[in-house]
Structure formats: C-alpha cells, structure tokens
Structure 1
Amino acid sequence: MTEKDFTEADRYYDAQKRVKELREFYEHLSVYVLSTPIVIIVNLMTSPEYLWFIWCVVGWGMAIVLHGLKVFSFPPFFNKKWEDKKIQEFLEKENKRRLESNHGNKFE
C-alpha cells in the first residue's frame, strides 16, 4: 500500500466518520422537534396548572446545542486539535515511563 493509498483511505475514513456524526446529530434534532409537541400536549392535558414541559424542552434543548457545537466543531476545546495534542501528551508520558522502566531494569 502506497502512502497515497494510505492517505486516501484515511481521508475516506474521516469523511465517513464525519457523515456519521452529522447523521446522528440530525437524528437527535429530529427526535427533539417531533417529541417536544407531544411532551407539551401531555403536560397540558395532565397537569396544566404546572408547566413542567419547560424543564424537558430546555434541558433537552441544551443537549441538542452541545451536540451541535461538538459536531460542527465550534467549541475551542475538545476539538480535533485538542484530541491530537492530548494523544501526543499520553504517548510522550508512556514513552517516558517505558524508558524509565527499561533503564531501571538494566542496572538490576
């Protein structure tokens, strides 16, 4: 496998992953939009004196917003660059730990 093939395979995998994330977000949003009127109607029919549906709509709406921010890479943290940086940190720590472990074993 050439480097070009590897790069193409990586790009295809990344695009496939991105499409899956978008589809899952739109499914989440669709369920929210379709379920919200049902929740409101059930609330108004069972206990119109207390509008508890507001808590459901706001809470779930916040989850939708956070999901959208993640999918569309809006937050300045927990994005791809942050993930890559953390991966490098963990790899460096693991390499350092192995070097120290191997170094200690040689002199015993």
Structure 2
Amino acid sequence: MKPSETQTPEEYALEMARYRVNKMKRFYTHLFIYIIGIAIYVAKTYFGAPFNFWPIQHINCFVMMVWTFFLIVQGLNLFVRENVFTAKWEQRKIQQYMNEQNNKYE
C-alpha cells in the first residue's frame, strides 16, 4: 500500500498497523476454524464419529491437505514475507545494486 498525497506519515503508519492487525486477526480466525476442522476430521476418520450431515460429510484427506496448504501459505505470507521483504530490505537491495553498478564503471 502506498501513502496517498494527503496522508501524513503518522496517518499512513496507523493505516498500515490497522491493516496488519486485521490480517493477523483473519489468520488467527482461520487457524481456529482449521483446528476445529482437524478435530472433526480426526474424530470422523479415526474414531468413527457419525458426522454424516452436510458439509461435515465432505471433509476427507484431500480437503484437509488443500486446507492445510492454504493455511500454510497464508501464514507464510503474513509472518515471513512481510518480515523479510520490508522497506529496509528494499533499500538495502537498491543500495547494493547501485554500489555494484558504481564498482563496474570505476
């Protein structure tokens, strides 16, 4: 997200903080629902619980693997990508490439 021309740096920082907190809230909500889904899947698969009503009857190994994949991607997006590819990282890389270019022409 880029700051608009009318935003002060403090307003932009507050907006980014709210955006990040909202993403974390959505991730933890998704994680909570996933844990409930895992519990139902384990009870149904390994303990023979009679969950034969829609949508529970459609929870199978494939659905759980796909759900796990998307949860991992969401977690990596939230906790890894935003911590690794920050503005500081971008500035360091830009400076590194500029230094390399300067060294080529010296």
Q: Which amino acid aligns with 2:34?
A: Y
- Could you say which structure has the larger radius of gyration? 1
Counterparts of 1:1-108 in structure 2 under 5 Å?
6-44=8-46, 45=48, 53-74=60-81
CA distance in 1, matches of 2:61, 2:81: 26
State the shift of 1:42 in Å: 3.0
Which residue of 2 is the match for residue 88 of structure 1? none
Q: Relative to total residues, which structure has the larger helix share, 1 or 2?
A: 1
Where structure 1 has 5 or more consecutive residues not aligned to the other structure, the ranges are 47-51, 82-108
Superposed CA RMSD: 2.8
State the shift of 1:80 in Å: 6.7
Identity of aligned residues (%): 20
Count the aligned residue pairs.
70
Normalised to the residue count of structure 1, the TM-score between the two structures is: 0.53
Where structure 2 has 5 or more consecutive residues not aligned to the other structure, the ranges are 1-6, 51-58, 88-106
Normalised to the residue count of structure 2, the TM-score between the two structures is: 0.54
